[in-house]
Amino acid sequence: MAEAIWARLSAHHRATAGRPIADLFAEDPGRAADFAAESEGLLLDYSKTAIDARALHLLAGLAEAAGVAGRREAMFAGAPINATEGRAVLHTALRNLDGSVHVNGVDVMDGVRATLARLEGFALDVRAGRLRAPGGPVSDVVAIGIGGSDLGPAMATAALAPYHDGPRLHFVSNVDGAHLADTLRPLDPRRTFVIVASKTFTTVETMTNAVSARDWLAAAVERPGEQFAAVSSALDRTRAFGLDPARVFGFEDWVGGRYSLWGPIGLPLMVAISPARFRAFLAGGAAMDAHFRAAPFTENLPLLLALVGIWHRQVAGHATRAVLPYDQRLARLPAYLQQLEMESNGKRVAIDGTDLLRPSGPVVWGEPGTNGQHAFMQLVHQGTEVVPCEFLLAARGHEPGLAHHHRLLAANCLAQSEALMRGRSLAEARALMAARGLAGAELERQARHRVFPGNRPSVTILYPQLTPFVLGQIIALYEHRVFVEGTILGLNSFDQWGVELGKELAGSLLPVLEGREHGRGRDGSTARLAARIRALGDAAADTEGAG
C-alpha cells in the first residue's frame, strides 16, 4: 500500500511541478488558514509550499500506512521501539511528570521525579550561595560535554538569556584546547564550578577537557573535586575522579543523548534560569506531547511539519533544509537541529536491515536572520538548487525599548518568505531597468541578473514570545517531526552507529601521533599526514626549548 501512495505522490508532484505557489492563493482565498495549524499560541504556516489538498491527503495516507499512530503510542508507553538496541524511547517521560510509564514492568516515573527533585535542590543551592566555592558564592559554571550533552543545554541557555538570574554559564565541548583555554582564561578558579556531562564518563573529548579543567582548579584550590558535579550513570568512574556521589545525577538508557535536555543534561539551564522556569520549559514540551497524541492530522503540528519535510526531501528531491530563526537568541537552534535530525534520520538502511528505497533525511543548516540575508540567501533566492526554508519568529521580543528593532526584524522575515514564493519575472526586471534609464542589450543583460525564479517553498513558525514554555514547545515539535519522518521512512531514529567508526580510528591513530607506534598499515594519505603533524610538532617543541 505504501509504495502505491509513494507512486501517486511522485506522479502528483510531476504533474504540478510547474505550478506557481502564488497561484494556489489566487485559487483558494482561504489557503493561509487552511494550510496552517496552531497549538497553544504556536502557529505553523505551511501555505507557502506547493502542497495542495491532494498532496496533503496522500501524505497523510503515507503516515497511516506506516503506522505512525500506533508507533507513537508505543513510544509513549515505553515499548522498545529502538529496535537495534532493544530500548524504550522515553525522553517524553522526563517532561510528562504525572501518571506512570512502565519499562519492563517497572514504573519509571518515581525515579524521574526523584532525580528532578535532586537536580532542583542542587540548582537552588548554587543559585542561593549555599553551595560555595573557596572564594565565595559560585560566580561561574562551566558545563563540559559534547554532542547531545552540550548542544541542547548550550542552545537553550542562550535562547532563554532574558531569564538568567543565576551564575554565568559557559560551555566547553571541543577537544581543541583552544575552547577550554579561552573559556577558562577570564574566570576565577576560586569561584568557578564545573559540571561534566557524560553518561559513561568515558567520552574522550569530554574527559580530556574535564581532567584539564581539574588541573586548572588544582593550581589555585586545595580540593578541586569539591567544585565538580557530574551528569553520569557511571558512579564508579565519577567516584574515582573525586566526585561526591551526592553531586552525580544519572539517567537511564531509554533517554538518547540528543533527546536528553529535559533531564539531568539540562542542569546548566536549570542553574541559569531557576527550577521553576525549568519546569515551565518542561510544561511546554509536555503540552506539545499532548497535542501530538490528540490532535487530528489536519491540526497536528508535528505530523504536518513532518509531512512537509517528506514532500520536500523524498518527493520533490530537495537535498537540504534551511532553518532560519529570526530570533538572535535561537542562534544555536540550527546546530541543535543538525544533530537532532541528521543523527536521527541520517541512515541508509531500514529497521529490518534492508536498504532504504529512497533518500533519508536532508542536510540541515542555517543561521539567524537577518545575518543570513547578507550571506547565503543569495543562493537560496537565485541559486540553481531549491532550498526549502523554515522561518521561526516571535511576535514580540524581550526588549520593549527596542520595539522598532523587532518590527524591522519581523518585516525582514515576512519579506524573505514572500520573496522566495513570488520571485521577480524577466518582464518585471526589464521594466525595473527601463525605469533606471537603460535600453537595448545593456537593459537585457542587467535585467537577467535581477530575475528571481520564485516558487521556492518555506514554512513559518510564529510564536508570541520566546519564553521557557514556548522553547519547550518548539523543541518537542521538532523531536516529534523527526519521529514521524523516521517512521514513514521505516528507519530507526534512535540509534547512531554512524558516529562509531571515526571514534575507533581516532583511538588507534593517537599512538601514531604520539610517536609510540608507526603508521604502517594506514593508507598513504593518513600515514603521510600523521608523519607531517609529528614533524611539525617536534620542530615547534625544539624551537620553544631553544628559546
Residues annotated as part of the active site: 343, 374, 503
Contacts of 485 (CB under 8 A, 6+ apart): 306, 309, 310, 345, 361, 493
Beta bridge partners of 323: 390
d(CA 363, CA 365): 7
Phi, psi of 160 (to 5 degrees): -105, 30
Residue 464, all three cell numbers: 508570541
| Cβ–Cβ < 8 Å for 114, 251 | no
d(CA 466, CA 463): 7
Letter string b/e over residues 339-354, b meaning 16 or more CB atoms within 10 A of that residue's CB: bbbbbbbbbeeebeee
- Dihedral of the alpha carbons of 374, 375, 381, 387, in degrees to the nearest 10: -140
Quick one: angle between helices 2-16 and 53-65, nearest 10? Answer: 160
Helix or strand (DSSP H, E) at 73: helix 68-77
d(CA 396, CA 463): 9
Return the percent helix, strand and coil in the chain, to nearest 5. 55, 10, 30
Beta bridge partners of 460: 45, 391
Residue 517, all three cell numbers: 607506534
Helix or strand (DSSP H, E) at 534: helix 524-546
